Amino acid sequence: KNPLTSLRSASETLKHVKTDEHREKLIGIIQDDVVRMDRLITDISRASKVDASLARDTAQTVIAHDILANIAEFYQQTQSGDGASVVSVPAAFGDEPMYIRLFETPFAQVLRNLIDNALTFSPADGTVRLTANWNETNKKLPITITVEDDGPGIPPDNMETIFDRFYTERPKGAQFGSHSGLGLAICRQIIKAHKGEIHAENRIESEKVLGARFVIRLPKAKLPT
pLDDT digits (tens, 9 = 90+) for 10-61: 788 888 788 888 888 888 888 877 877 776 666 666 666 666 666 667 889 9
pLDDT reading at 148 higher than 80: yes
Q: Categorize the per-residue pLDDT at 111 as very low, low, confident or very high, splitting at 50, 70 and 90.
A: very high
Q: Measuring CA to CA, which residue among 65, 83, 78, 88 is closest to residue 148? A: 88
pLDDT digits (tens, 9 = 90+) for 195-215: 999 999 999 999 899 999 999
Q: How far is CA 3 from CA 9, 102, 122, in A?
A: 10, 35, 25
Write down the pTM of the prediction: 0.74
49 or 217: which carries more pLDDT confidence?
217
- Give the mean pLDDT of the chain: 83
Beta strand extents in the chain (DSSP E only): 60-63, 85-88, 99-102, 127-134, 143-148, 197-205, 208-218
Q: Categorize the per-residue pLDDT at 92 as very low, low, confident or very high, splitting at 50, 70 and 90.
A: low
pLDDT reading at 146 higher than 90: yes
